Chains A and B, each alone.
Chain A
Amino acid sequence: MLRLVLLLLIASGCKPPGERELVVFAAASVKEVFTELGGDFRRQHPGVTLTFNFAGTQELRTQLELGATADVVVSADTRHMDALSAQGLVQAPRPLARNRLVFAVSKEVAHRVARLEDARTLERIVLAAPEVPLGLYTRTLLDQARAGPSGAELVDTLERHVVSKELSSRQVLARLVLGEAQAAFLYRTDALGAADAGVVLVPLPDALTVTAEYSIAVTRSPAHPTLAAAWRSLLDSSTGRAAFRHAGFDVEPAP
């Protein structure tokens, strides 16, 4: 009798128990790391469909507020994550990694810019627009620079030579890689990733440290809670941390 029931179940095409899909909404700047770790995840969970939605944090927030479904959310800006949490759209966000802001120059001018002060002579600097997280972080860094010695004059000169305010961190990077911009303020991970395009990091004084705080949370009622937990474990594991560090993020050492 039992055998007959089992046969009927299998014959009806009934899916075996267990979750088969995971949807992750993540800030664009973690795309490379997540794609790499996604490969590991698929090997650990064969048959599971892993779907990523990489976009600016503010876009992800808007999508979630308008009803989009996801299991895990990774934000590059704590304000947006706090807003989602306050609306009850995510549960218990916690820190994931940090991304420092750096100053980088294109290969054409790398030889004549050793410090931020040398950037006075440049004519085409690109920033992120203040409407996006990177733009806000850049604003904070420039305000900090103003406070230093001869800071006001340097920052005024730099701001006079800003030729474009891009709407995503990737566009800022593209300007630099294409050689359209001579210098830009961007995320450390983006600058390191473009090293083979000749992009060179210019060291900033220790006083000018601005970091983007990345946080991760599971959505309010995820459709695939087990896989969501498994993804988070992978990110916390030594493999996950190594991947983050290799890309240029700062991660907490393993507990």
Chain B
Amino acid sequence: MIAQRSLLVGLGAVLATYLLLPLVILVSSVGDAFTASLGHPLVAPALRLSVTTTTITLAVVVLLGTPLAWTMARSTHRLTRLLETLLQLPVVVPPAVAGVALLLTFGRRSLLSAALGGDGWSPSFTTLAVVMAETFVAAPFYLQAALGAFRQLDPELVSVARSLGASPLRVLLRVAVPLSWPGLVAGAAMCWARALGEFGATLMFAGNLEGRTQTLPLAIYTALETDLKVAQAISVVLVVAAFALLFVVRLVSRHLPGGRA
């Protein structure tokens, strides 16, 4: 009995150690040069851009993803399952390939650009492109979590609410969402984290320019070309920012109705 429990704990400990060790070593290796590296010109604009774009991305995904997940959860149509699988594809596709796909769809020589006439406008090289790239790769994380949470809802509750005269929107906002908080918040946290770490699609579709498209991951990669120490320092900034965001999300979810830590 004890042996079995030890085995389970042991297996888990191996994975946990493997996941934590490199990050601990990264953070501790930076040392004294850290505060000096923080003043590096790449850091402040990249941090500002990362925080701004990921927040907008999260807002867009939650605003548009919640109704989508709700509709899909309530649907009994055969094609819903197929759609659900298709909507997972952005996760499977390598980010650089996602960037190429975005370029083909929204780039300068795309149908969209031609439709806008002449040298049509395109979002590539703009901050909008950063949000688009982040949304593309991070949305499936929220969608899947929201779908799972909504599917677990007792359909009786929804029927009761409707029979008491609640409109579909009211049912979603006042019944479904509050009861599904833990799942939705966990999904939002994963979505935000993925958007924060997004690199390949951003580099391909949005480009690399300080202040406009160079997010923290792009700044790290740029710094890697010349100074490993600076790259390490900016990496620590990213890890700390991500930890802070996820921690805040956990705290918030604990204090909301129906939320558990």
Instruction: Judge whether A144 is part of the interface by a CB distance below 8 angstroms.
Output: no
Instruction: Judge whether A166 is part of the interface by a CB distance below 8 angstroms.
Output: yes
A180 contacts B225, C-beta separation under 8 Å: no
The distance from the CB of B234 to the nearest CB of chain A, in whole angstroms, is: 13
A167 contacts B109, C-beta separation under 8 Å: no
Q: Which of A94-102, A157-165, A236-244 contacts B (4 or more CB under 8 A)?
A: A157-165
A129 contacts B208, C-beta separation under 8 Å: yes
- Choose from B107, B125, B208 the contact partner of A178 (Cβ within 8 Å): B107
The distance from the CB of B43 to the nearest CB of chain A, in whole angstroms, is: 15
Residues of A contacting B221 in the complex (Cβ-Cβ under 8 angstroms): 167
A180 contacts B124, C-beta separation under 8 Å: yes
A178 contacts B119, C-beta separation under 8 Å: no
> In the complex, which residues 81-97 of chain A have their Cβ closer than 8 Å to any Cβ of chain B?
none
Residues of B contacting A118 in the complex (Cβ-Cβ under 8 angstroms): none
B208 contacts A179, C-beta separation under 8 Å: no
Residues of A contacting B225 in the complex (Cβ-Cβ under 8 angstroms): 56, 58, 129, 131-132, 167
- Choose from A108, A126, A167 the contact partner of B222 (Cβ within 8 Å): A167
Number of interface residues of A (CB under 8 A): 19
Instruction: Judge whether B253 is part of the interface by a CB distance below 8 angstroms.
Output: no
Residues of B contacting A108 in the complex (Cβ-Cβ under 8 angstroms): 119
B208 contacts A167, C-beta separation under 8 Å: yes
* Tier of interface size on chain B: 10 to 19
A163 contacts B107, C-beta separation under 8 Å: no
Mark each residue of chain B from 209 to 240: 1 if its CB lies under 8 Å from any CB of chain A, else 0.
10001000000011101101000000000000
Instruction: Judge whether B108 is part of the interface by a CB distance below 8 angstroms.
Output: yes
The distance from the CB of B241 to the nearest CB of chain A, in whole angstroms, is: 22
Instruction: Judge whether B197 is part of the interface by a CB distance below 8 angstroms.
Output: no
Residues of A contacting B222 in the complex (Cβ-Cβ under 8 angstroms): 129, 131, 165, 167
- Choose from B108, B109, B208 the contact partner of A166 (Cβ within 8 Å): B208
B107 contacts A164, C-beta separation under 8 Å: no
Instruction: Judge whether A188 is part of the interface by a CB distance below 8 angstroms.
Output: no
Query: Beyond A108-B119, A124-B125, A131-B225, is A180–B103 a contact (Cβ under 8 Å)?
Result: yes
The distance from the CB of A73 to the nearest CB of chain B, in whole angstroms, is: 18
> In the complex, which residues 93-127 of chain B have their Cβ closer than 8 Å to any Cβ of chain A?
103, 107-109, 119, 122, 124-125
- Choose from A129, A162, A180 the contact partner of B108 (Cβ within 8 Å): A180
B209 contacts A164, C-beta separation under 8 Å: yes
Residues of A contacting B67 in the complex (Cβ-Cβ under 8 angstroms): none
Instruction: Judge whether B207 is part of the interface by a CB distance below 8 angstroms.
Output: yes
Residues of B contacting A179 in the complex (Cβ-Cβ under 8 angstroms): 107-109
The distance from the CB of B32 to the nearest CB of chain A, in whole angstroms, is: 23
The distance from the CB of B105 to the nearest CB of chain A, in whole angstroms, is: 13
The distance from the CB of A226 to the nearest CB of chain B, in whole angstroms, is: 35
The distance from the CB of B123 to the nearest CB of chain A, in whole angstroms, is: 11
B209 contacts A163, C-beta separation under 8 Å: yes
Residues of B contacting A163 in the complex (Cβ-Cβ under 8 angstroms): 125, 207, 209
B103 contacts A164, C-beta separation under 8 Å: no
B208 contacts A165, C-beta separation under 8 Å: yes
Residue of B nearest to A59 (CB): B225
> In the complex, which residues 167-210 of chain A have their Cβ closer than 8 Å to any Cβ of chain B?
167, 175, 178-180
CA of A167 to CA of B214 in the docked complex: distance in angstroms? 12
Query: Beyond A166-B208, A167-B225, is A180–B107 a contact (Cβ under 8 Å)?
Result: yes
Residues of B contacting A56 in the complex (Cβ-Cβ under 8 angstroms): 225
The distance from the CB of A77 to the nearest CB of chain B, in whole angstroms, is: 12
Residues of B contacting A126 in the complex (Cβ-Cβ under 8 angstroms): 207
The distance from the CB of B200 to the nearest CB of chain A, in whole angstroms, is: 12
Q: A129-B225, A131-B225, A166-B208 are in contact. List 15 more A-B contacts (CB 8 A).
A: A56-B225, A58-B225, A62-B228, A129-B222, A164-B207, A164-B208, A165-B222, A175-B207, A178-B103, A178-B109, A179-B107, A179-B108, A180-B107, A180-B124, A180-B125
Which residues of A are at the interface with B, using a C-beta cutoff of 8 A? 56, 58, 62, 108, 124, 126, 129, 131-132, 162-167, 175, 178-180
Which residues of B are at the interface with A, using a C-beta cutoff of 8 A? 103, 107-109, 119, 122, 124-125, 207-209, 213, 221-223, 225-226, 228
List 6 interface pairs A-B (beta carbons < 8 Å), by A numbering.
Answer: A129-B208, A129-B225, A131-B225, A164-B209, A178-B103, A180-B108
Going nearest first, the 6 A-B pairs with the smallest beta carbon separation are A164-B207, A131-B225, A163-B125, A131-B226, A179-B109, A179-B108
